[in-house]
Amino acid sequence: MHTITKIALQVALVLLTLCPTVFADTDTSDSTLTLHPEAVEEALVDMDSAGVIAQKTEEGAAATSDETALYPMSPERKAKLISYSRFKNTWRFVSFFISIGLLALILFTGLSAKMRDYAQRMRIRFFAVWLFWALFSVVDYLLNLPFAIYRSFVVESNYGFMNQTFMQWWGEDLLGLLIGITLGIVPVWFFYWLVGRMKRWWLAFSIGAIPFAVLLIVIVPVLIAPLFNKFEPLKDKQLEAEILALAESAGIEGSDIFQVDGSKQSTKIGAYVTGLFGTKRIVLYDTMIDNFTTDEIKYVMGHEMGHYLMNHLWWGLGVAIIFILFALWLMDKTIHCVIRRFRTRFRFEQLSDIASLPLVLIFAIVISFVFQPITNSASRYMERQADKFGMDITDVSGETAVIAFDKLSVFNLSDPDPHPLIEFWFYDHPALKKRMESVRNYRR
């Protein structure tokens, strides 16, 4: 899905990025969100993995030929990791200013007001807002398309991750845009309905976001994600039996475990837990099944079961709702003076005017960027808890868990040891080097 659509849904309603808790190496802050599962990314410098690789188990040595081509890390792969990490660090800031710049362009040229005037031909307010939302989404998508192609297709292809043709990638991107337009109308309409009627609209919106976010977390795994990927039971029945036994020992009954053809889009590796109630599921990428040993996968599953048993999805949702409450309160205290200052250029005078949406998104982007270290810190804490739980519930050694993390670094070109400021600001997972040290020295 396009970046601005992502932010509109994510910041306003904690939608799709709250759904999966991903077993990964890093953050998602610089990636363009699509509704299909995507291995997450990372940032900055390099660390010699030779010490980890030298302790590779006998079982790991029997991996597939694809793995042998990448793991252990070759000098060429290491150079790619450094280059890819540096690019992503730069892109975090570049994409931030691109997003703000294009939204400002829509505002200051009066294009937002023109789209509002056209949409208001619809007599029913809800449909007028929906038409404006659709027009805005398409215009913003087209303005951002060259940057999206460069970041999500060209760069990923250059580093060997992309497994799609351009038309395949674009088709999924357009499908994400369509779904964003369809789902996004609910929070957008609710936002403007409240702003026009309540002084403390920010409080009412935050409370109203809870049931909608829960509904999305329930339906996305079963209705949205299958539009992009094929989910099926594990084909390796021995592996399935071991994971089910692990789940039973953890006190989880009736677990739904799926493998997904993540290789359809990318060579990156990942796994995640998502959904609520009857849609709760643990998902393994086929790329992980092909390149991880049974013990390494068991540790990954133990980590994901830790998220489930410690209710991290609910805790994450709570943190996000609190952040939305704070962000919207801060927006309410600051946005009106900007509207008054530029009302002639913007061609609107009230926040309740739907033409203000690009300005609302600018504020949302800036507030999210400034305060993301707080929300990322909460996420990193939960990831550390899950890492420890994975060690407690499985019988794997610390070195096996270390190899699992090291493979993430090699296959996903993820920097194990980023600059502390980069980790603090952008990472929603602890740096891989820290996770390796933690599991290697962990005592059950």
Q: Which of these ranges, 10-14, 127-131, 241-245, has the smallest mean pLDDT?
A: 10-14
pLDDT at 275: 77
Q: Which of these ranges, 14-28, 128-142, 209-223, has the smallest mean pLDDT?
A: 14-28
Instruction: Output the CA torsion 32→24→271→381 (10° steps).
Output: -110
Q: pLDDT grade, residue 56 (50/70/90)?
A: very low
Q: pLDDT grade, residue 313 (50/70/90)?
A: confident
Strand pairing report for 257-260 and 281-285? parallel
The Cα–Cα gap between 142 and 149 comes to 11
User: Rounded to 5 degrees, what are φ and ψ at 243?
Assistant: -70, -40
pLDDT at 28: 47
Question: Which one is predicted more confidently, 256 or 211?
Answer: 211
Compute the average pLDDT of residues 268-280.
Answer: 83
pLDDT at 47: 28
In the DSSP assignment, the letter for residue 353 is S
Strand pairing report for 231-233 and 257-260? antiparallel
Q: Which of these ranges, 86-90, 251-255, 347-351, 356-360, has the smallest mean pLDDT?
A: 251-255
Q: How far is CA 187 from CA 16, 208, 211, in A?
A: 13, 9, 12
Q: pLDDT grade, residue 66 (50/70/90)?
A: very low
Q: Which of these ranges, 74-78, 258-262, 358-362, 440-444, has the smallest mean pLDDT?
A: 440-444
First-to-last C-alpha distance (Å) of the chain:
41
* Residue in this structure with the two tokens 């969100």, named with its chain if needed: 33
Contacts of 120 (CB under 8 A, 6+ apart): 128
Q: Is the pLDDT of residue 124 over 60?
A: yes
Compute the average pLDDT of residues 381-397.
Answer: 94
The Cα–Cα gap between 81 and 200 comes to 48
Q: Is the pLDDT of residue 272 over 90?
A: no
Q: Which tokens sit at 285? A: 């990428």
Compute the average pLDDT of residues 393-397.
Answer: 91
Q: pLDDT grade, residue 348 (50/70/90)?
A: very high
Q: pLDDT grade, residue 276 (50/70/90)?
A: confident
pLDDT at 72: 87
Using alpha carbons only, what angle is made at residue 35 by residues 29 and 36, rounded to the nearest 5 degrees?
Answer: 100
pLDDT at 62: 40
Q: Is the pLDDT of residue 70 over 60?
A: yes
The Cα–Cα gap between 306 and 315 comes to 13
Residue type, 124: I
The Cα–Cα gap between 215 and 278 comes to 12
Q: Is the pLDDT of residue 443 over 90?
A: no
Residues 152-180 have pLDDT tens digits of 999 999 999 999 999 999 999 999 999 99
Q: Is the pLDDT of residue 383 over 50?
A: yes
Q: pLDDT grade, residue 24 (50/70/90)?
A: low
pLDDT at 254: 66
Q: Which tokens sit at 201? A: 């609209």
Q: Which helix (H) or strand (E) holds 21?
A: strand 21-23
Cis status, amide bond into 420, omega within 30 of 0: no
Residue 32 contacts residue 224 (beta carbons within 8 Å): no
Residues 303-316 as b or e (16 or more Cβ within 10 Å = b): bbbbbbeeebbebb
The Cα–Cα gap between 29 and 50 comes to 29
Q: Is the pLDDT of residue 7 over 50?
A: no
Residue type, 312: H
pLDDT at 25: 56
pLDDT at 58: 40
In the DSSP assignment, the letter for residue 33 is P
Helices 125-148 and 357-393 cross at an angle (nearest 10°) of 70
Contacts of 9 (CB under 8 A, 6+ apart): 1, 15, 16, 180, 183, 184, 187
Question: Which one is predicted more confidently, 395 or 381?
Answer: 381
The Cα–Cα gap between 49 and 53 comes to 6
Specify the length of the chain in residues: 444
Compute the average pLDDT of residues 79-92.
Answer: 95
Q: Which tokens sit at 77? A: 């792969």
pLDDT at 111: 98
Q: Is the pLDDT of residue 17 over 50?
A: no
Alpha helix positions (H), 196-341: 201-219, 237-249, 286-291, 294-309, 312-341
Q: pLDDT grade, residue 279 (50/70/90)?
A: confident
pLDDT at 195: 96
Tell me the average pLDDT of the chain: 85
The Cα–Cα gap between 338 and 334 comes to 7
The Cα–Cα gap between 267 and 414 comes to 13
Residues 376-406 as b or e (16 or more Cβ within 10 Å = b): bebbbebbebbbbbbbebbebbbbbbbbbbb
User: Rounded to 5 degrees, what are φ and ψ at 50?
Assistant: -60, -40
Q: pLDDT grade, residue 18 (50/70/90)?
A: very low
